[in-house]
Amino acid sequence: MTVSRALTIAGSDSGGGAGIQADLKTFTVLGVYGMSALTAITAQNTLGVHSIYNLPLQAIEEQIDAVASDIGVDAVKTGMLSQVPIIETVARKIKEHNIPNLVVDPVMVAKGGAKLLESDSQHALITHLLPLATVVTPNLPEAEVLTGLSIRTVEDMKEAAKKIHAFGPRYVVVKGGHLEGDALDILFDGETFEIFVTDRYETRHTHGTGCTFSAAITAELAKGRSIHAAVETAKDFITCAIRDTLGLGQGHGPTNHWAYGKSKQRV
């Protein structure tokens, strides 16, 4: 049996709903072997981020070296990379190990408003990481920061996708979770736009939706699926995870990472 292998390079969310915990749960449910390189430890729950401890660069490098040199990586995603030297180190290591299928989730702010990317790091993300990316998955506030545009409509989302594509990623997915109305995301390949849309579920339990969505794309790319198929599965996965809420915590609770697997078993 050969199993596909995915690596997440991201921060730890002690609450288990976002960060590497969300990524590893998603990889597992999608049948992919998950590995992690931690960039930071956060003390966090559904109410907010209490503290952030960035890890030493050497610790980040050595984790990536350890898994890439032995187990191998079919796809990698990046999440919380809060400082310029961390971004530079991660980009260098991804190049050095020739890791294919890079999904960049340009994590900037947690649901409760805590800053997970320091302001001077935005430029580093654009110059070092986006040119290596197979796909980058900004939400609307992140797309606004990356482009300087104000995004209020689907047409604005398309404009932002074009500007972000010019930074060098092969594909861009602009997520419309923060827009009103249906939950609508746009995939842009540099020429054409594809729209993925579902009903919006009224719930406050949306902690880690972005992490989970990009982890699902990573898992599917690790299996060798096309970007279209990967985004389609990721949309399905996150929709099930938001719809079948677990109701945990007093704030923005986690999504239900089991839901997609259970719905497939029922079919």
Ligand X SMILES: Nc1ncnc2c1ncn2[C@@H]1O[C@H](COP(=O)(O)OP(=O)(O)OP(=O)(O)O)[C@@H](O)[C@H]1O
Q: Which does 16 bind (CB under 5 to 8 A by kind): ligand X, ligand HMH, none?
A: none
Query: What gap in Å lies between CA 137 and CA 217, rounded to an integer?
Result: 10
- Tell me if 211 contacts ligand HMH by CB under 6 A: yes
Range 17-76, binding ligand HMH (CB under 6 A): 18-19, 42, 44
Which position among 25, 77, 175, 235 bears the catalytic label? 175
> Shortest gap between Cβ of 120 and ligand X (angstroms)?
21
Backbone angles phi, psi at 64, to 5 degrees: -65, -45
Residue 201 interacts with which of ligand X, ligand HMH, none, CB < 5 to 8 Å by class: ligand X
Q: Judged by CB, which is closer to ligand X: 48, or 177?
A: 177
**240 a catalytic residue:** no
> Smallest Cα–Cα separation from 164: which of 192, 194, 196, 142?
142
When asked if residue 107 is in the footprint of ligand HMH (CB under 6 A), the reply is: yes
Q: Which of 79, 176, 208, 253 is catalytic?
A: 208
Work out whether 253 is an interface residue with ligand HMH (CB under 6 A). Answer: no
Instruction: Find the binding residues for ligand HMH in span 124-183 (CB under 6 A).
Output: none
Q: Is 175 a catalytic residue?
A: yes
Nearest distance in Å: CB 60, ligand HMH: 14
Rounded Cα–Cα distance for residues 256 and 239 (Å): 10
Closest CA to 213 of 196, 234, 230: 234
Q: How many residues bind ligand HMH (CB under 6 A)?
A: 16
Angle between helices 57-70 and 84-96 (to 10 degrees): 20
> Is 255 considered catalytic here?
no
Q: Does residue 206 interact with ligand HMH by CB under 6 A?
A: no
Q: What, of ligand HMH, ligand X, none, does residue 53 touch, CB below 5 to 8 Å by kind?
A: none
Query: Least Å distance between CB 32 and ligand X?
Result: 19
Contacted entry of ligand HMH, ligand X, none for residue 13, CB cut-off 5 to 8 Å set by kind: ligand HMH
CA dihedral 5, 238, 107, 11 (to 10 degrees): -50
- Torsion from C-alpha of 116, 122, 124, 125, nearest 10 degrees: 70
Residue 209 annotated as catalytic:
yes
User: What does the alpha-carbon distance between residue 17 and residue 247 come to, in Å, rounded to a whole number?
Assistant: 12
Closest distance between ligand X and the C-beta of residue 249, in Å? 13
Cβ pair 33, 40 in contact under 8 A: no
Helical packing angle, 227-243 and 209-222, nearest 10°: 140
Using CB under 6 A, list all residues that contact ligand X. Answer: 18, 111, 139, 175-178, 183, 185, 198, 200-201, 206-211, 213, 235, 238-239, 242
Q: CB–CB of 215/255 below 8 Å?
A: no
Residues annotated as catalytic are 175, 206, 208-211
